[in-house]
């Protein structure tokens, strides 16, 4: 693999330069993929379809979903037609920018936009083709993070910036041929006693667990967790922890209250975690991307079992947004942009032990992995001197990218033969897309 890229002038640029490429890391910086167009100022969630060997990035800077060929680590195409970067007082307005959340199954890519629409793309159509469907969720702010069932037939997407926030269940395309036929099924909200309105509380990344056949949705902050805590109704720092919303798509309801163990649905109160991200790993364990941005006292990462709700805390890593379980090496990867010591790629093994943290550019909150090749993709913003507010305030991103336009960094974990054996209790179809 070539670990150098060419700039517009044709001069070779050195990529994967320290501190973003420590020589003693198990997770090695391999190369960097430059994104054509505007420098990367703002991006959101990313996704990998390993079977298609494609990585998808919600690239607001270029108002489209970038597609990278993960077999060769080259930029391939862009899915167009999004709102791009919206500004408010000179800063990026995340609530109205797009694309945001993105996921895929087979030939279909689903992406949320800043105008509260879900856009559906057919990858078999010619490059540059517009969305096959555009569906409004009925809000005024972005459609954010989302997740599909294992068969690709049901999609859950969160409108995190609405007040109060809500999620939407969609009938999705699965592997069907013919035109896209995505349709709204249900609007889902949370009891206002748990997520009180007018305080800017949200819903974040959902994850689908095939074993329990439930969606698990991160809630950064919920009221009265613990009793009398501050969720924003008082002055001072937030002291309430978050929750985990459990949804049965086969029998959804419009309003979810406190967790009901008899149905395995409702809001589970979490301890020492205000989560943004969620991903399913071994044995129905969910790693949640806790962050002090939600509650300053939450300085660990939480792993909770989807069945028993028993949990453990992973120390020395926090501040995550998107998190991803890679079945190829049975490790979790964390986009820890709010890590206390600085933005990092966190690496946690399947037994909930922190392996390492690798420095990243400011705001590197997005991560996805190709399970067939054990490549890990982490977008890097361009320096603040190039893009202004929202840019990298360190030298890490430029060192990884080999330039000042930002990039998608490609890391690799070389797995020993013994480590490639499947875990006997892990359903390898859980994460196939």
Phi, psi for residue 100 in degrees, rounded to 5: -125, -100
128-165 pLDDT, tens digit per residue, is 999 999 999 999 999 999 999 999 999 999 999 999 99
- DSSP 3-state of 333: strand
Q: Is residue 367 part of a domain?
A: yes
Query: Which is it for strands 43-49 and 4-6: parallel, antiparallel or unpaired?
Result: unpaired
Instruction: Please state the domain count of the chain.
Output: 1
The single-letter DSSP state of residue 82 is: -
Residue at token pair 């108002």: 63
Q: Which residues of 44-73 are buried (b: 16+ CB within 10 A; e: fewer)?
A: bbbbbbbebbbbbbbbbbbbbbbbbebeeb
List of residues 6+ apart from 230 with CB closer than 8 A: 236, 237, 238, 239, 240
Residue 307: predicted pLDDT = 96
CB 270, CB 313: distance < 8 Å = no
The single-letter DSSP state of residue 7 is: -
Mean pLDDT for 378-391 is 96
- DSSP 3-state of 345: strand
Q: Is residue 176 part of a domain?
A: no
CB 399, CB 407: distance < 8 Å = no
CB 248, CB 265: distance < 8 Å = yes
CB 92, CB 104: distance < 8 Å = no
CB 396, CB 361: distance < 8 Å = yes
Q: Is residue 331 part of a domain?
A: yes
Residue 5: predicted pLDDT = 37
Residue 376: pLDDT band (50, 70, 90) is very high
Q: Is residue 348 part of a domain?
A: yes
pTM of the model: 0.93
Q: Is residue 423 part of a domain?
A: no
Mean pLDDT for 336-346 is 96
Instruction: Give CA–CA dist 330/43, Å, rounded.
Output: 26
Instruction: Give CA–CA dist 245/326, Å, rounded.
Output: 23
Residue 423: pLDDT band (50, 70, 90) is very low
Instruction: Give CA–CA dist 211/249, Å, rounded.
Output: 14
Tell me: pLDDT of 48 over 70: yes
CB 215, CB 151: distance < 8 Å = no
Instruction: Give CA–CA dist 255/252, Å, rounded.
Output: 9
Q: Is residue 427 part of a domain?
A: no
Residue 7: predicted pLDDT = 36
Per the rule left: phi > 0, alpha: psi between -120 and 50, beta: everything else, 92 is beta
Residue 8: predicted pLDDT = 36
Q: Is residue 10 part of a domain?
A: yes
Instruction: Give CA–CA dist 141/192, Å, rounded.
Output: 19
Residue at token pair 């990243």: 360
Residue 416: predicted pLDDT = 73
Rg (C-alpha) for the chain, rounded Å, is 20
Instruction: Give CA–CA dist 402/400, Å, rounded.
Output: 6
Q: Is residue 107 part of a domain?
A: no
Instruction: Give CA–CA dist 5/401, Å, rounded.
Output: 9
Residue 415: pLDDT band (50, 70, 90) is confident
Residue 428: predicted pLDDT = 39
193-207 pLDDT, tens digit per residue, is 999 999 999 999 999
Residues linked to residue 58 through DSSP beta bridges, in sequence order: 65
Domain that holds residue 382: 1-33+316-416
69-78 pLDDT, tens digit per residue, is 999 999 999 9
Tokens of 43: 């991006």
Residue 420: predicted pLDDT = 46
């Amino acid at each position: 693999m070539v670990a150098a890229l060419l700039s517009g002038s044709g001069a070779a640029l050195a990529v994967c330069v320290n501190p973003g490429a420590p020589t003693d890391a198990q997770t090695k910086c391999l190369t960097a993929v430059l994104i054509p167009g505007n420098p990367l100022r703002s991006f959101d969630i990313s996704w990998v379809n390993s079977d298609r060997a494609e990585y998808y990035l919600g690239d607001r800077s270029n108002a489209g979903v970038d597609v990278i060929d993960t077999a060769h680590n080259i930029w391939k195409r862009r899915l167009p037609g999004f709102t791009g970067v919206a500004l408010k007082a000179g800063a990026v307005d995340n609530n109205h920018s797009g694309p945001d959340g993105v996921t895929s199954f087979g030939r279909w890519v689903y992406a949320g936009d800043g105008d509260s629409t879900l856009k559906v793309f057919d990858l078999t159509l010619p490059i540059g083709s517009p969305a096959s469907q555009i569906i409004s969720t009925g809000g005024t702010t972005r459609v954010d993070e989302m997740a599909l069932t294992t068969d690709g037939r049901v999609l859950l997407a969160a409108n995190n910036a609405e007040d109060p926030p809500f999620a939407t269940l969609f009938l999705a395309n699965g592997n069907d041929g013919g035109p896209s036929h995505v349709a709204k099924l249900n609007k889902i909200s949370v009891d206002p006693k748990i997520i009180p309105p007018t305080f800017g509380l949200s819903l974040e990344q959902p994850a689908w667990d095939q074993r329990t056949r439930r969606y698990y949705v991160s809630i950064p902050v919920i009221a009265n967790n613990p009793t009398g805590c501050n969720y924003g109704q008082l002055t001072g720092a937030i002291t309430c922890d978050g929750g985990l919303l459990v949804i049965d798509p086969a029998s959804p309801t419009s309003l979810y209250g406190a967790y009901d163990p008899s149905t395995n649905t409702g809001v589970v109160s979490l301890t020492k975690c205000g989560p943004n991200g969620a991903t399913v790993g071994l044995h129905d364990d969910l790693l949640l991307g806790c962050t002090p941005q939600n509650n300053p006292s939450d300085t660990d990462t939480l792993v909770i079992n989807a069945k028993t709700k028993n949990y453990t805390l992973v120390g020395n890593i926090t501040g995550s947004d998107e998190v991803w379980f890679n079945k190829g090496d049975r490790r979790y990867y964390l986009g820890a942009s709010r890590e206390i010591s600085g933005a990092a790629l966190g690496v946690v093994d399947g037994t909930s032990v922190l392996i390492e943290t690798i420095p990243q550019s400011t705001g590197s909150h997005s991560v996805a992995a190709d399970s067939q090749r054990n490549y890990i993709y982490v977008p890097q913003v361009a320096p603040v001197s190039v893009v202004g507010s929202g840019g990298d305030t360190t030298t890490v991103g430029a060192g990884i990218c080999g330039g000042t336009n930002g990039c998608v960094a490609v890391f690799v974990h070389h797995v020993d033969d013994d480590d490639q054996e499947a875990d006997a209790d892990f359903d390898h179809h859980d994460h196939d897309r």
